[in-house]
Structure 1
Amino acid sequence: MTDELTRLANSVLWPGFFGTDAPAWLRSALKDDLAGVVYFGQNISADLPALSAQIRAANPHALIGIDEEGGSVTRLEVGTGSTLPGAAQLGVVDDVAASRATGAELARRAHAAGIDVVLGPVADVNTDPRNPVIGVRSFGADAALVSRHVAATVEGMQGGGVAACVKHFPGHGDTHLDSHHALPVINLDPAEIEDVHLAPFRAAIAAGVDSIMTAHIVVPEWGEQPATLNAGVLGRLRTMGFDGVIITDALDMAAIRESVGIGGGAVQALAAGADLLCIGNPTNPGAAARADQDESDYLTAREAIVAALRDGTLPRERVEQARDRVRMLATKLAGAATADSDGPDGASYEAADIVSRALRVTHVMDGVADAAASALSVIDARRRSTLAVDSAAAYVADALAGDGFRVRLDVERATEEERDAALDAAIAAEGRLVLLVDRPDVDAAQRALAELAADRDPGAVVVNVGLPARHPLPLPVVEVAAASRVGAEAARAMLLGR
């Protein structure tokens, strides 16, 4: 029989897991009051609604979340690419009705899969163009723009009966490090953080957001601990008027795992004021991940919390407060599902239209809409995928090239001979030469490839799915602002004059 403290610890834990079926350890934990689960790419299959039903059969009050943003970050469409606009595309269009409708459509899709918490939208103001982890996941670099689209997206999602979780408090937009791999330090004037980076979170709170996710970032002016573990930083959320669930970013990310550890992170996050601990994606350790990494990480967090409760390091009242907030959210969402079991109607939602409106061209391109360009010959020179974003997903190049030629070139590692061979093959193939890039502003190798291509084929064009370059490239650029299937399809249609 599971003891009372173990059940209490379970009630604030939110693990990820391997596979498309709930493993035995997870079903057992759910029966012992585990708060729920978070879905990632490895959990997605055509039987996702059945998996959600299996989880709720073990715990009817389980919160089922998904790390889904649309655009460049998708789990629901992990195999084929997102058919929803990304945040940067919505920011370019700057139509709050489009953002609200996108939030509602995402809620409809989540609802159909048995999911009731969506880890989005991103509320970070992307003020550092070198940012390797946010970029086009943000609505933009202007606080007012980000604020109005965060609020609209939250309204759309929560109007559809799911909880939104805006992220990553107090703002992950001004960093050039990825907290999946390191612990970023934000050396900004606190006044700038207050005026710029906290503004979208205030807007989300005013819109009634149900949950907010913390960031594993250090603001030295606010202490040496990362925000996730910092009582002063999390306390700001409460003084800002937020009374919902504070969810941690994944405690198995390197910023926590390799500093205080998952167990230490779990205890310190609860003590600091977090309510629900995301143990996250068991692939976060990368190649070092073990077959039982999911269960091992969960047990590490659970046992650390139990030990801290037993020795008084962690006050029981604090954990009970966190548990009660989580349960209140679960009860609210269960009521919303009962009131509207069919979810919102997405029949009239036109994602492709929104994405087409977001496309931008750096300058007039001769023949950009020439139907005689009957094919595209694509060199995919994007950076390698990261834990946060599947940057090099093949579906982007596939959708852009269609039935035409395409080749993947790891441009940062490619030799001169490999680069020349890729260009030779692409130029020899039928159709217009297209360079697919995602970091032209900060990646010297991508810029060098564009310069070489311009010399070899002046009719070539660049399709950029990342942040726009601040300095012009020697070729025309179609700015897509998301590494998604729908974005690639829109760029293809533009280039073929369709």
Structure 2
Amino acid sequence: MPHDPTLERLANATLLVPFESLHAPRWILEGLADGISGVCLFHNNLESPEQITALNASLGEVTDHPLISLDEEGGDVTRIGQARGSGYPGNAALGRVDDTDLTRETFRALGLELADLGFNLDLAPSVDVNVADDNPVIGTRSFGSDAELVARHSAASVLGLQEAGVAACAKHFPGHGATSQDSHHTLPRVEADADLLRRRELLPFQAVIDAGVRSILTAHIEMPGLGGEGPATLTRALVNDLLRNEMGFEGVVVSDAMDMRGVSERIGIPEASVLAVAAGCDLLCLGRFVYADQVAEVRSALVRAVHEGRLTGERLEEAAERNARLRSWVGRSSAERTRSEATGAVGLNGARRAVRVDGELPPLERPYVVEVDAPAGVAVGDVPWGLGPWFRDTVRVSPETDDPSAILTAAADHDLIVVVRDAHRYPDAQAFVNGLLAARPKAVVVEMGLPIWRPDCGAYVSTYGAAHVNGLSAAEVLGSAAALETAD
């Protein structure tokens, strides 16, 4: 295939790429200078506020206003809070409070923190309506299971982020909340009729469009009720006909990560990328480990598809123009914003308002905390959670391998607190907790995921999330002296 600099630059303009290290490698800097629209940062790129700020500044030195993005939802899915957990309570907690002013203020505070670090595009919020209790990928990332509640908080979160000068990216269109599978691993399918999907899944997306959201991210799910087969990301009937023509979205359509099995397992990342752009995606989020050689393969596939007539040059030009407009918007927003004011208390205040206690908490004079481990999803990653920072006597157990009787022996002279996370999804965790409660029926259970499975216990505490501030707010309720001192 002959070298075609014009088409190669247009193809570059559709790319949002990851890279390997704490410093931008040469191939990234050269790629940005040659038209790549931006980067997506992950845990492997982030070490400290000083390092992040310097890294992002270096990216902006090689081209005007590159898109510098990350998945920072607050709550369970955090990148800047990787070391100890997020300082923001997450969508489920905000939905439980149901104060749209709080949601807007929380996302504005988050946006200001991101902008101070040099980010200008946040792949958030999740505006999925979580109606499947066993949903392995959304859960606490959703504002809730009621479409109208999710819609109003989705709009508020978009307004808050964009008031801070950070472009929001509502996800996962057309809605990942009714799935029982994770699109990182397979292609989920939602079987529901068009009327229900329009009233439920699409309502929050229409709300964020009306609120002026700058970008929307697609889902690698099948939703035949709205037209077409295969991943939504690759389906023109959903991306172009529904989202653009019918719902009136004029911003940037971003693909979910193209290395996810739900979209590229059978056909490979380069071919999936061609089909995504042809369907109407403007910006290809390539994933976490798609580096220089694979990026070049995607670019070549896009150029080759134009030469073969499978993709029009006009479609590439359209995508490049939309991405350029988004870059101009973040550039203006960056120039207009002032450095952020203090916003540190917003997240903790929201987490405190979300906590619920069912039953009567007993005096906890000598607490012994048992954290029942639960696997973190791919989107969440390895982020600390639990009550350990605020209780000296804390143990983390595996419900598959540890013995409840050993825990009961260790806790014999203590007040027992059992901490779980989405216990409704894990029968082994339920069995372990029931084994403890059979001997200690007055024990306190703290649920740091969705409070769906409720055992018979002395008191039941719900945090609606496992972020650092969710844990701190629960520790305060439980009377932890360390937590109360921290809050002061």
TM-score range, shorter chain: over 0.9
CA contact (8 A) 1:162 1:333 kept: yes
Is 1:450–1:475's contact at 8 Å kept on the other side of the alignment? no
Give the Å deviation of 1:448: 1.2
Counterpart in the other structure of 1:492: 475
Q: Return the alpha-carbon distance in structure 2 between the equivalents of residues 333 and 393 of structure 1.
A: 29
**Alpha carbons 2:136, 2:377 under 8 Å: kept:** no
CA contact 1:122–1:137 (8 Å) conserved in 2: yes
| CA shift for structure 1 position 378 | 2.2
1:252–1:297: 8 Å Cα contact kept in structure 2?
no
Identify the match of residue 210 of structure 2 among 203, 206, 209: 206
Q: Is 1:81 the counterpart of 2:69 in the alignment?
A: no
Find the counterpart in structure 1 of residue 137 from structure 2. 133
Aligned to 2:238: 233
Matches within 5 A, 1:59-208: 59-208=63-212
Please say which of residues 241-250 and 402-411 is displaced more in the overlay: 402-411
SS at match of 1:184: coil
Counterparts in 2 of 1:414-425, with a 5 A limit? 414=401, 418-425=403-410
Cα separation, 1, equivalents of 2:475 and 2:361:
16
Aligned partner (choices 300, 315, 319) of residue 322 of structure 1 = 319
Going from structure 1 to structure 2, the CA distance change for 1:211 and 1:461 (only over 3 Å counts) comes to same
Shift of 1:114: 0.5
Q: Distance in 1 between matches of 2:430 and 2:467?
A: 22
Aligned to 1:306: 303
1:275-314 aligned at under 5 Å gives the runs 275-282=282-289, 293-314=290-311
1:61 Cα offset (Å): 2.7
2:372 to 346, 370, 381: 381
Residue pair 2:171, 2:216 contacting (<8 A) in 1 also:
yes
- With over 3 angstroms needed to count, the CA separation of the structure-2 counterparts of 1:347 and 1:385, relative to structure 1, is closer
Distance 2:435 2:391 in 1: 25
Question: Structure 1 regions of 5+ residues with no counterpart?
Answer: 283-292
* Paired letter, 2:325: M
Partner of 1:289: none
Matched, 1:40 2:42: yes
* AA in 1 matched with 2:56: S
| Alignment correspondent of 1:353 | 349
CA distance in 2, matches of 1:380, 1:17: 35
State the alpha-carbon separation in 1 of the partners of residues 316 and 34 from structure 2: 16
Give me the whole-angstrom Cα distance separating, in 2, the residues matched to 1:366 and 1:334: 51
Q: Deviations over 1:196-220 (max 9, x none)?
A: 1100000000100000000000012
In the alignment, residue 360 of structure 2 is paired with which amino acid? Answer: M
Identify if the C-alpha distance between structure 1 residues 6 and 431 changes in structure 2 by more than 3 Å, giving closer, same or farther. farther
Shift of 1:470: 5.0
Normalised to the residue count of structure 1, the TM-score between the two structures is: 0.91
Displacement, 1:106? 0.9
Q: How much does 1:306 deviate?
A: 1.9
| Matched position secondary structure for 1:68 | coil
Match of 2:392 in 1: 404
8 Å CA contact retained: 2:361, 2:458? no
Distance 1:474 1:444, change over 3 A: farther
Does the 8 Å CA contact 1:409/1:419 hold for their aligned counterparts?
no
**Aligned residues of 1:151 and 1:204 also touching (Cα < 8 A):** yes
| 1:375 and 1:496 in contact (8 A); partners too | no
Contact between 1:18 and 1:42, CA under 8 Å: does it hold in 2?
A: yes
Letter paired with 1:421? A
The answer to whether the Cα contact below 8 Å between 1:439 and 1:446 also exists between their aligned partners in 2 is no
Q: Which amino acid aligns with 1:195?
A: R
Matched residue, 2:264: 257
Residue aligning to 1:287: none
Deviations 1:386-408 (A, max 9, x none): 21113x63343433xx2512222
Q: Provide the rounded CA distance (Å) in 2 between the counterparts of 1:309 and 1:134.
A: 36
Does 1:393 find its partner at 2:383? yes
After superposition, the C-alpha distances for 1:378-430 in whole angstroms (9 at most, x for unaligned) are 2221321221113x63343433xx2512222221x315xx44334433x15x7
Q: SS of the residue aligned with 2:369? A: strand
Q: Does 1:477 align with 2:478?
A: no
Report the CA distance between 1:375 and its aligned residue.
4.9
Preserved CA contact (<8 Å) 2:443 2:457: no
Cα displacement (A) at 1:143: 0.4
Q: C-alpha separation between the residues in 1 aligned to 2:248 and 2:62? A: 34
Give 1:471 deviation, angstroms: 5.0
Displacement after TM superposition at 1:280 (Å)? 1.8
Q: CA RMSD in A?
A: 1.8
Instruction: Kindly indicate whether the alpha-carbon contact (under 8 Å) linking 1:2 and 1:32 is maintained by their aligned counterparts in 2.
Output: no
> Is 1:464 the equivalent of 2:450?
no
Worse-matched range after superposition: 435-444 or 75-84: 435-444
Gaps of 5+ in 2: none
Return the offset for 1:30: 1.1
Three-state SS of the structure 2 residue aligned to 1:350 is helix
What residue number does 1:273 align with? Answer: 280
CA-to-aligned-CA distance 1:86-105 (integer Å, 9 cap, x gap): 00000010001100101110
Displacement of 1:65: 0.7
Q: Distance in 1 between matches of 2:313 and 2:408?
A: 63
1:268: how far off? 0.3
Larger mean CA deviation between 304-313 and 13-22 belongs to 304-313
Tell me by how many angstroms 1:475 deviates. 4.7
Residues 146, 58 of structure 1: CA spacing in aligned structure 2 closer, same or farther, 3 A cutoff?
Answer: same
Count of residue pairs brought into register by the alignment: 474
Amino acid across the alignment from 2:269:
I
Structure 1 residue 348: Cα displacement: 7.3
User: Partners of 1:171 and 1:119 in 2: how far apart?
Assistant: 15
Residue in structure 1 matched with residue 434 of structure 2 by the alignment: 451
Aligned to 2:360: 365
**d(CA) in 1 for partners of 2:415, 2:383:** 22
